[in-house]
Amino acid sequence: MTQRKFTNELEAAIEHGIDVRGRRIFLHGDVGEDSIGTAIRGLYVMSDMSKDPIELFVTSYGGEIDESFALHDVCRTISVPVHTVALGKCMSAAPLLVAAGQHGERYASENTLFMLHSASIDLDGSLANVAMTAKAEKDRCERMDRLLATYTTMDYRHWARFSKGDIDHYFDAEQALAWGIIDHIWSEK
């Protein structure tokens, strides 16, 4: 490989958070259209290149639950395994992405802080529109709770308690391991 090609690949990995050669995607920041769109494109490119596992590193305060569902669906439907790693912070819409990784290959660094909470929405418009929007958000929260119950050792009722009320629920990597969001705590080289 020429030095120029290597430099171009390195610059792309730094700018977009995708290391094609290393088969790694870095979701660092908001779970939003741009970051998730980039991650999805990276997953498809790498899954077409090889059947080797892809690593998805997540460090995020969270963001859009619909974008989390989009990346979740792609991770679950591509033909290669996706190994997940939570680093530093894994909050709101992000824990689902880690939990949905290949069972046995879901990690968190030992100092990762997790957080789950109910959805927050800005409501305006007609009363009918407000009611429909609130119901849609409630349905999304319930879907996330069902998915977490599918991938972890805890049942739906356990996860549903986090999506009720206005309280942020924080927990550490040890608790994430006990609840089955992750399979291992990554604490050594």
- The stretches of the chain forming alpha helices (DSSP H) are 3-16, 33-49, 65-77, 94-99, 127-151, 156-160, 173-179
Least confident residue range of 75-84, 119-128, 151-160? 119-128
> What pTM value is reported for the model?
0.87
The reported pLDDT for the residue numbered 131 is: 78
The pLDDT tens digits of the residues spanning 61-99 come to: 999 999 999 999 999 999 999 999 999 999 999 999 999
The reported pLDDT for the residue numbered 188 is: 75
The reported pLDDT for the residue numbered 166 is: 76
Q: Is beta strand 82-91 parallel, antiparallel or unpaired with respect to 113-116?
A: parallel
Q: How far is CA 2 from CA 41, 102, 144, in A?
A: 25, 35, 45
- What's the mean per-residue pLDDT of the chain? 89
Find how far residue 98's CA is from the centre of its chain: 5
| Domains observed in the chain | 3-117+167-186 (3.90.226.10)
Give the span between the Cα atoms of 142 and 140, in whole angstroms. 5
Is 143 within 8 Å of 161 (Cβ atoms)? no
Give the model's confidence band at 141: pLDDT under 50 very low, under 70 low, under 90 confident, else very high.
Answer: confident
Least confident residue range of 32-36, 45-49, 155-159, 165-169? 165-169
